[in-house]
Amino acid sequence: MSTILDKILATKREEVAAAKAAVPLAELERRAAAAGPLRPFAGALARPPGKPV
């Protein structure tokens, strides 16, 4: 008998496999290299109220 968690895990495994098949690793690496610099997580949390993240 499978639980809801087992069903969720099975679905996610299928989704991850499909995503891996859709975009080659070399393309993901190219996109990562072309992406802008990371923003500091702590800095985003410390922003003044009303200023968007």
At 42 the pLDDT is 85
The pLDDT tens digits for 9-31 are 999 999 999 999 999 999 999 99
Is 5 a domain residue?
yes
Number of structural domains in the chain: 1
Domain that holds residue 17: 1-33
Grouping H, G, I as helix, E, B as strand and the rest as coil, residue 35 is coil
Closest CA to 44 of 36, 53, 33, 31: 53
Look at residue 52 and tell me if it is in a domain.
Answer: no
pLDDT at 48 over 80: no
For residue 10, tell me if it sits in a domain.
yes
Rounded CA gap, 14 and 7, in Å?
Answer: 11
* Residue 41 belongs to some domain of the structure: no
The pLDDT assigned to 50 comes to 78
Question: Given pLDDT bands bounded at 50, 70 and 90, which one contains residue 6?
Answer: very high
Q: Which residue has the higher pLDDT, 25 or 48?
A: 25
Q: How far apart are CA 52 and CA 22, in angstroms?
A: 33
Of 49 and 14, the one with more pLDDT: 14
